[in-house]
Structure 1
Amino acid sequence: MQICAHPVDSFKALRMRDYCTRYDCHGYGIILEYEEAGYLGTKSIDLLDLTPQTNLDELVAEIRLSEPLITESRAAQVKELILRLQKKQGQQDHHRFCFCKELKAHILPLTNVAFDKSGSRFITGSYDRTCRVWDTASGTELHTLEGHRNVVYAIAFNNPYGDKIATGSFDKTCKLWCAETGKCFHTFRGHLAEIVCLAFNPQSTLVATGSMDTTAKLWDVESGEEVATLTGHTAEVLSLCFNTVGSQLLTGSFDHTITMWDVASKRRVHTLIGHVGEISNVQFNWDCSLIISGSMDKTCKLWEAVSGKCVATLIGHTEEVLDVCFDLSGQLIATASADGTARVFSAATHECLATLKGHDGEISKICFSPQGSRILTASSDKTARLWDVQSGACLQVLEGHTDEIFSCVFNYEGDTIITGSKDNTCRIWY
């Protein structure tokens, strides 16, 4: 939620008759979340054509014509939201990151790190069976989430809300926690093997878990009850991702396939067949029109979400593709490989635009900065690196860890990075 966490700016909730509407900037678009008669709905407005030169008055007027939820009284706030996004597009990113703090986070190696929406807190999972909650600014530990009986492998905040945390463990359970107090709300039991991936839906009403038992499960956040078991894969489910509105879920498996599920009916929509190796990661683009998958077969594939058809195979890596992601506009794809290189592809033309060379070991994680101008990679060579998206040049090497770096994340503003390492520490970079 990888999968992929997209940055979100929130307007204060308001009530208009029986609607409660919140406006969020989400990449190059706006999410409208509304509640009517107890039903929580979500609509997205595509802003992929937004540029720093776009006339905002004309754009807001156009949006209002097509979306009745945006009333005249809210038009100014929508304009302000789009203006902020427009300003971000125009910013030149020359920030150089400096090492700030090293946190002796756990007594055994870390497994994952994740920010909350604001970037003020982050969480770490570990082989020591705990998840820890940290204050980003001070590096202070806020809570230790204890209770799992084996490795805490998958972790996530319920962004954009940030008031809950989910942890998935090799003990076959997932736990739901209060991010403010550290209290455990629920323990989700039912998987028959290790849980290795999880994600909240955008409404924070469901948690999806993927397991080595070949299934994914959906859990109700409020009641703690199992909602569905999604069966059909014949090997471990290693990756999953909700679409922007939470109506569909992707699962990627070691059986070489990706399945798209309809969340409401719990039924299979498509099986994406074509890879000849295990799936390492799968992700929707911003408007959910495309899906990217990375595989141990050394390729990535681009799929059309509506039809499930493969529209391109992205080649060039000489070893397994270990991670893949879209930028926030959905126009660029970044891939990371065991061959020690990363690549940038065009989602439209499928061309390789840049090859990122410099690491001395496999690259296990890759992500775009929120502004989209930089790429961050984590490698077994004990470094993380920042790259220029356009040229592929290495802008900075983040050094200091004494073992493999397996996790790296930007905060929403793109001015803070957390790296997590097998050396039992995480590092904060400003």
Structure 2
Amino acid sequence: MKSDFKARNLIFTPDGNSVLSPVGNRLTVFDLVNNKATTFPYENRKNIDRIALSPNSTLLISVDEDGRALLVNYNRQVVLHHFNFKTKVYDLQFSPDGKYFAVTHGKHIQVWKTPGFHREFAPVVLHRTYTGHHDDVVSISWSPDSRFFVTTSKDMSARIYSTNPIEGFVPVTLSGHRDTVVGAWYSKKQDCIYTVSKDRALFEWRHQLINPKSQDDDENSDEESAMEVDDSPRRWSAVQRHFFHQNHANVVCATYHAASGMIVVGFSNGVFGIWELPTFNNIHTLSISQKKIDSVTINKTGEWLAFGASKLGQLLVWEWQSESYVLKQQGHFYDMNCLSYSSDGQSVVTGGDDGKVKVWNTVSGFCFVTFSDHASRVTATEFAKNGQIVFSASLDGTIRAYDLVRYRNFRTFTSPTPVQFSSLAVDPSGEIVCAGSQNSFEIFVWSVQTGKLLDILAGHTAPISCLAFSPTSQFLASSSWDHTIRTWDVFGRGKSVESFQHQSEVLALAFRPDGKELCGSTLDGQLSFWDVENALQTNVIHGRRDITGGRKATDKITAENSTSGKHFNSLCYTADGSCIIGGGNSKYVCIYDIKATILVKKWQISKNLSFDGTLEFLNSKNMTEAGPMDLIEDDDFSDLEDRQDNALPGTKDLSKRNVRPEIRTKAVRFSPTGRTWAAASTEGLLIYSLDDTLMFDPFDLEIDITPETIIETLDERDYLKALVMAFRLNERQYIQRCYEAIPPTDVKLVARQLPTKYLERLMKFIASYMEDSPHLEFHLVWCTSLLISHGKYLKDHSGEFLMVFRGLQKGVGKMHEDLAKVCNDNTYTLEYLLSQAEKN
């Protein structure tokens, strides 16, 4: 899983239930119905610029910044072919019939044949190249019948082309706009074309007669016109001109929904509007972002709108009829610095340079709460109280405690004199919180209940890099740049201190889960292991050569001889304490076996060449007298606000320099379950898991499944096999028949042996069947048996079954209401009858 939204181009799947968004050089699918996010396993060479999905959802094309494309089987998530368009691609669209796809190629347009499913020597075959524009083409739109397509360009015009040569047809130019034409679309009947330009203008073009006949001539030739084709000369002309009034904000993106005649426009000031065509009635206008909206798309039914703002990393899905958000996600604006797992492994909290604290669900991949109370960079985060409280430390001199039940900042801790906090630790009971300062070299201890400062621990002579409480005792360990790790008895009166001396600056430390051993990482790339009770060094791992990797574009020496990045700045033990994982300022994350002191595995967190430090060797042809080619400014800045220089004379704005982000890992943590680990990196939050979403199902090995075989199996009283076969056939009538045929006495046995693969589908069926079925006790027996037999699995995967639980709760609640109503009616009837009997 990967979370850091940089949406360049968004598309909905044909069913309209999922939205596809580029996340760096990977692709993520957000399932809006089941509330899940899935990241595809493949990577593009650089950040993805454009994506396109075929109408039947089988083929996906993703193109990076350099024009290198991947042809992917969407359902299998497998790369089929690599292709290079050799130039930047502004737009890529499949034809509605799926036979072709059109791609921009500078001033030209290339139409390629869509690959088939059989093996071919050249899967992608060029159909035709179309010319005529005088500047870069920026958008392509197909007609509903796939015979024509209309393109727009920076030359302030739109052109109509035919897919195949048509006798008498000449490509048509639609000119009249005064700025770049952002998009053009056919109406549903193909009798009208709408074009939108950057200067907030919308033109309506219609195919009209040049010299229309008089009305009398038309009446006299009604029968003839019915038999003959009108060959009168026609031309496309602008019949209507409309303008969007948005306080000098330019149009950045737009999309058109032909079925409803609705156009959605995104502006550079973060506002979007919905207009109804051809009447040009403004249906809705809303400001959803502080930066410009880079991408907008609409699903097939026209109910949901998806917006992307890449500068803020925002991804929004808006239901315009109910005026509510379906999805609202935003990653950290700058680097992600720290992370921490909750005790159940279901949540991860992260802090970033933007001063925000975000809590993510590890199952769905969504951020469900964001705290923006800090005024500066967040340096450390921790969970406490069984995952119900989050603590965060920041350079703004505050430690804040957040309640995840009411989602509020209920406590703020500060020091007597303002300092910058660089580390944080919370004791296992959650009653004491400690923070290390970066400038005063002291450790501050507060009480969470009262918020009062209890103690100030002094002794370090350099900035404190890390703090950690022992999992089993009340000792606090601190690491510092003064070459030492110190242990403190926070609750004792003696304040006994033990010092562990190192050869270099200590950057990180971690306790083993049993609390008997701690590990420290030093600037020279070593991992030192210490026996806490005896204060003896037990082991040393030299990881300098393992963590080294990647050469920056400005480096004068090779990556192997470079001294930067050859150390670990974050450590974490595995759940069993046998291995330790570490990450640093490089593209690698390493895990070591402590007892054998060997490298078990090394992960490369990204192969994205858009980041600095990904390549091991630099190509000399990319070096020029002005510096590396990648760092030379080559953007043409088509927007006026980007070209304007508002700096004072004699000054240089360093924030506008062209630099590439460096690939690095700021923090690594193992989940308490031991099945997953997470890394806070330049690419965002990365989660690696041992559990694959695909589960083995022994029933998949069976031969043909038909209604007849299901009935035969049911007659043989093999209820579990019949139920599973019905689920595989996916016919509701047979699922219902097998479900009702199981005797109540055998429900517990069948529920216990049911494979977890079919657990969600069975619970969904029960939730939907409860509303129409009279078998109240039978449904309750099934629910109870499933919860008892698979309780641990359901708890570990509670995020996946959230909608199922809601459905069951709704069904049981309705059954309870109906039963209560019947009981009340019977009670009153019995009371009436008894009262009548007493009178008689």
Task: Determine the structure 2 residue equivalent to 1:163.
Answer: 388
8 Å contact from structure 2 (residues 584, 665) kept in 1: no
| Counterpart selection for 1:234 from 454, 461, 472 | 461
Q: 1:380 to 1:250 in 2, by over 3 A?
A: farther
Q: CA deviation at 1:305?
A: 0.8
| Counterpart selection for 1:215 from 442, 447, 464 | 442
Task: Determine the structure 1 residue equivalent to 2:570.
Answer: 323
Q: CA deviation at 1:233?
A: 0.1
Q: CA deviation at 1:113?
A: 2.6
Distance 2:603 2:365 in 1: 30
Distance 1:133 1:344 in 2: 26
Task: Determine the structure 2 residue equivalent to 1:5.
Answer: none
TM-score, normalising length from structure 2? 0.32
Letter in 1 for 2:504: G
Query: Secondary structure at 1:129's aligned position in 2?
Result: coil
Q: How many pairs are equivalent?
A: 295
Distance 2:399 2:472 in 1: 23
Task: Determine the structure 2 residue equivalent to 1:122.
Answer: 348
- Unpaired stretches in structure 2, ≥5 consecutive residues: 1-36, 42-314, 316-328, 546-565, 607-611, 616-660, 694-840
| Counterpart selection for 1:353 from 590, 598, 616 | 598
Q: 1:201 to 1:121 in 2, by over 3 A?
A: same
Distance 1:113 1:259 in 2: 23
The alignment-based identity, stated in percent, is: 22
- Give per-residue Cα distances to partners, 1:13-61, cap 9 Å, x unaligned: xxxxxxxxxxxxxxxxxxxxxxxxxxxxxxxxxxxxxxxxxxxxxxxxx
Task: Determine the structure 2 residue equivalent to 1:271.
Answer: 499
Distance 1:176 1:197 in 2: 15
Higher radius of gyration, 1 or 2:
2
Letter in 2 for 1:174: I
Q: 1:302 to 1:119 in 2, by over 3 A?
A: closer
Distance 1:411 1:325 in 2: 10
Distance 1:324 1:270 in 2: 21
8 Å contact from structure 1 (residues 246, 263) kept in 2: no
Q: CA deviation at 1:289?
A: 2.0
Distance 1:344 1:132 in 2: 27
Q: CA deviation at 1:138?
A: 3.9
Task: Determine the structure 2 residue equivalent to 1:178.
Answer: 403
Query: Secondary structure at 2:451's aligned position in 1?
Result: coil
Distance 2:373 2:584 in 1: 35
Q: 1:111 to 1:316 in 2, by over 3 A?
A: closer
8 Å contact from structure 1 (residues 99, 428) kept in 2: no
Distance 2:391 2:590 in 1: 31
Task: Determine the structure 1 residue equivalent to 2:39.
Answer: 99
1:194 aligns with 2:420: yes
Letter in 2 for 1:99: T
Q: CA deviation at 1:107?
A: 2.6
Letter in 2 for 1:271: S
Q: CA deviation at 1:155?
A: 0.9
- Give per-residue Cα distances to partners, 1:172-220, cap 9 Å, x unaligned: 1101111122211211110643212112111111111112021112211
1:225 aligns with 2:452: yes
Task: Determine the structure 1 residue equivalent to 2:819.
Answer: none
Q: CA deviation at 1:286?
A: 2.5
Q: CA deviation at 1:104?
A: 3.3
Q: CA deviation at 1:100?
A: 7.1
Query: Secondary structure at 2:538's aligned position in 1?
Result: strand
Q: 1:415 to 1:320 in 2, by over 3 A?
A: closer
Distance 1:342 1:421 in 2: 10
Instruction: Map residues 24-423 of structure 1 onto 2, 5 A cutoff.
Output: 99=39, 104-158=330-384, 161-190=386-415, 192-212=418-438, 213-265=440-492, 267-273=495-501, 275-315=502-542, 317-318=544-545, 319-336=566-583, 347-348=594-595, 351-354=596-599, 356-357=601-602, 359=604, 381=614, 404-414=664-674, 418-423=678-683
Letter in 1 for 2:458: T
Letter in 1 for 2:542: I
Letter in 2 for 1:325: C
Task: Determine the structure 1 residue equivalent to 2:806.
Answer: none
Task: Determine the structure 1 residue equivalent to 2:146.
Answer: none
Q: CA deviation at 1:306?
A: 1.3
Q: CA deviation at 1:167?
A: 0.8
Q: 1:182 to 1:276 in 2, by over 3 A?
A: same
Q: CA RMSD in A?
A: 3.4
8 Å contact from structure 1 (residues 106, 126) kept in 2: yes
Task: Determine the structure 2 residue equivalent to 1:16.
Answer: none
Q: 1:356 to 1:141 in 2, by over 3 A?
A: closer
8 Å contact from structure 1 (residues 115, 157) kept in 2: yes
Q: CA deviation at 1:320?
A: 2.5
Task: Determine the structure 2 residue equivalent to 1:89.
Answer: none
Distance 1:414 1:298 in 2: 25
8 Å contact from structure 1 (residues 110, 124) kept in 2: yes
Q: CA deviation at 1:427?
A: 5.1
Query: Secondary structure at 2:515's aligned position in 1?
Result: coil
| Structure with greater helix percent | 2
8 Å contact from structure 1 (residues 252, 281) kept in 2: yes
Distance 1:207 1:197 in 2: 11
Q: CA deviation at 1:248?
A: 0.3
- Give per-residue Cα distances to partners, 1:202-243, cap 9 Å, x unaligned: 111111111202111221111111121111000111111111
Letter in 1 for 2:465: L
